Structure 1
């Protein structure tokens, strides 16, 4: 009988942020995201200049955990999630460790999207979800081998998940997703009339 093995796995970590302490109230986190967005004039200006739909603090605020206690709590929980993911991935960190590099707010309105991208210079990236109303976009993940498949036929429509060229993950508020930073991903156009709110982050190795 033939033997089949799945090689070169691409791991995705999916958990509840509250699986680790401190527990973070998503309603309070949502209110904080809106409050920060309203006061962040530099971030609003950057979004307008870049044609970014909605709001992101990515280019304006680099010290959210220092400014706002609830974000400090988010980071304390994320540190534990990232450590668990790194252990699962069997990363040999040597005498260095994974540390938060940056963390930012995303508020995506109806019709907003975030094009396909990676997070260079980081090791682990991820997002914790604050508000995911009906019609809000799932996270779209791309098979990293896709650019090398120039002459390959497409997969059948009902292919097993590990063989699909794209996988869509629909998280719930309070979920956290982690992946290795080289994994290409995007947020397709959101069809919800309400805002899709998330907090994204990168961890570096030093």
Structure 2
């Protein structure tokens, strides 16, 4: 009997051996992926820190680690949401599932809000308000200042009140975009608020379609003039 069992085990060894490498390779692959991600968010954070001017030697790495840490924690929250929603897709799509999906979204929003507040408090201990704004812009591809500058160039007759309102909406968009999980989601937040701004300006009597065409013509003329020189 023992001989038979041993023979069965020996016969099974090739099968076990063929399965083992895939399991053994999982840990190094996961470690390599984690190392690559750590490098990516650290480099991203370093680039943002570089825009803040000269910081004390002991402060720069602290700020970099705060930014990189925020990227990591945001990723964890978004990945958890993604996994939970994926699991719900496998369930019958009824009212119960819809309620569970809504709960996932609410918990995600609460987690992001908590992270957001804590992160800004930590940055505030290390940086000036102006530098914190630079970090926010760095995390959102500088869309706020770029967009505001574009509006002012396109519409040189904007009033101070209009500019103040537009700046407020773009700042609100940036607060949301900072916590988004992808570049597309970050830009989507700004897109939403730019739609609000366009409606606001249209209501004030500005023909945004014509203003856009006129602006593009001016940009083309500037480009041609620059090329000529």
Is the shorter-chain TM-score for this pair beyond 0.5, marking a shared fold? no
* Higher helix fraction (1 or 2): 2
State TM-score, norm by structure 2. 0.27
Query: What's the TM-score, normalizing by structure 1?
Result: 0.29
Where is the strand percentage greater, Structure 1 or Structure 2?
Answer: 1
